[in-house]
Chain A
């Protein structure tokens, strides 16, 4: 297909540790179409950030050991590129929005200068022209008085403003793919609503594909077109957003959806998934979710199910997929 922007085939990442090997990502396939927002959802430790970093080729070897059959960005093979080639691609062809703006930005450099850098490096612009572009980029993401704000240091800005700067930075060269790693987790609810709005408008207006990494299902409901649910290093379900929310097929997806407190809930009842995520060094046999699953059987205990492709581009990794509509 020509409109595929990102294609990842069989990505595996492991971290050898004293006392065992942590298999963070165990064979993941991902595709992103042009202009589509794909969400990768999972709890902490499920390998979603490692996936993001591997796509950007930002993971160092050692400590990590990774294997990938195919990593293509807009038809270009990235899997064999050297670090120097990658530097040309990061920021220009694909860019990343990090979770914590305070650590992602350089504290001793004004934010304007940090965005200038992108234009000067990738756009080959002069100093003055780069600054003009920077101010325009900041205005696009809704930073008021962009010209003077460009001269501020990161610590002089509020959390929401810093996150906007990161978005401006990522969209500076209008890359083909934006990877947003928990872009709003550290923000307050009202600010989160603002920032997500900016991100959505930028992504849709400029027809950029986005890979959204998050644990927050409400963010997914408001942003994503397609959702991958990840558990313990494996994709357990892939579905169009609406279908996942109305008719999840994997018990884990259902559990995640049910455990989010909703304003429409009855009082004093929280649906819970028992137990916790398995330790990445001691994963259970068979299906990784079976110890926490209510519909698990002997088969689940012994054999890991394959990722089956179903109707409507859905994928499901479960021996006993759910078929009924979820009651709301």
Chain B
């Protein structure tokens, strides 16, 4: 099923169709049962040209794995990834490389994503150098141009990453990501490693670059406030599955899934004038090895019913461009109701 509406066929830059990614777990003994981490299960999404697409979830929900699958760094166990209409994993080597040039990534940790032994110049020009076919002077010109764009000086060129603060390093990382003129940029928690006062700087920079270079972003974050401010569409993920998806406006104005509601209420707002009732979730996120049957969220869900334990919740369309995977919304059939599936579980079930 395609998630984000039907009228956007033509302008889709990236499409994922029922993508699943499983990783094998190292066996404890040679003949013990092979186990799989189900990092991403059956996720479909469509990113349109020029938009910012948000992916939200807690650690371990598979959002980074999904991002890696998007740009072809991980081959999905099943499902297809189409970039500009081409199936990324059926391209030949040369075509794949060409496609990859168009998709770049900004990483979370600006301390481990830059080679400490490279100067800033080496770091930023490396993608260009690897692609080849550019003269040294052209390269230098291009690097300088980008350096100005991200707000660094020419004299920074010969310095090393260790001379810079976290925010400046992230600027270097952004310059490196856009030097090949990509059309698609995946930002994997680009500000969560930075100081509060620098957050806004980097986010504003990313927005400016998007405007001037006409980029499409996939923005991964656990900060719903940021996602709300910059994204047009979003996916809320939990344990590898999409819980709620759609236009950011409708998800935020009308959150339907209990997990989305819990996430929203868990953001501590600094607005002290209006105290809010908080929904506290019980327990921890279960392990993605052997995830819970039925709806993946039922063990922590305050509204879980009998049927949630066994029947997986499918994404259903609730309003234009807004999809939810929850039995509370989709309801059970009359036979299922007769079997007692709509009975609420006791409030203590999660403990």
Residues of B within 8 A of A272 (CB): 197, 200-201, 204
With known contacts A189-B263, A246-B272, A44–B284 Cβ distance under 8 A: no
Are the CB atoms of B266 and A192 closer together than 8 Å? yes
**Given A215-B195, A259-B200: A268 and B230 interface contact (C-beta under 8 Å):** yes
Please name all residues of chain B whose beta carbon is closer than 8 Å to the beta carbon of A191 when the two chains form the complex.
58, 284
Chain A residues positioned under 8 Å from B229 (CB to CB): 261, 265-270
- The verdict on A270 contacting B203 (CB below 8 Å), with A158-B284, A191-B284, A263-B228 known, is yes
Binds A, one of B87-95, B125-133, B218-226: B218-226
Q: Does A69 contact B (CB under 8 A)?
A: no
Contact across chains for A218 and B268 when beta carbons are under 8 A apart = yes
B319 interfacial contact with A, CB 8 Å = no
Q: Which residues of B contact A271 (CB under 8 A)?
A: 200
Whether B223 lies near A328 (C-beta < 8 A) is: no
Find out whether the CB atom of B266 lies under 8 angstroms from the CB atom of A193: yes
Within 8 A of B (CB), among A251-299: 255-257, 259-274, 276-277
Closest to B226 in A: A261
Interface residues in A, total, Cβ within 8 A: 49
List B contacts of A241 (CB < 8 A): 272
> CA–CA, A3 to B59, complex, Å?
42
What sequence of 0s and 1s flags, for each residue 208-241 of chain B, a beta carbon within 8 Å of any chain A beta carbon? 0000000000000011111011100000000000
Task: Give the complex CA separation of A191 and B282 in angstroms.
Answer: 9
Q: Which residues of B contact A267 (CB under 8 A)?
A: 229-230
> Knowing A190-B262, A197-B280, A277-B195 touch, does A246 contact B273 (C-beta < 8 A)?
yes
Is A160 at the interface (CB under 8 A from chain B)? yes
| Chain A CB within 10 A, most for which of B197, B268, B271 | B197
Known: A218-B270, A221-B269. 19 other contacts (CB 8 A): A158-B285, A188-B59, A191-B284, A193-B280, A216-B268, A217-B270, A218-B268, A221-B270, A245-B271, A259-B196, A260-B225, A260-B270, A261-B200, A261-B228, A262-B271, A263-B264, A269-B229, A273-B197, A273-B201
B interface with A by C-beta (< 8 Å): 58-59, 165, 167-168, 195-201, 203-204, 207, 222-226, 228-230, 252, 262-273, 278, 280-281, 284-285, 351
Q: Could you list which residues of chain A lie within 8 angstroms of chain B, going by C-beta atoms?
A: 43-44, 144, 158, 160-161, 188-194, 196-197, 215-222, 241-242, 245-246, 255-257, 259-274, 276-277, 328
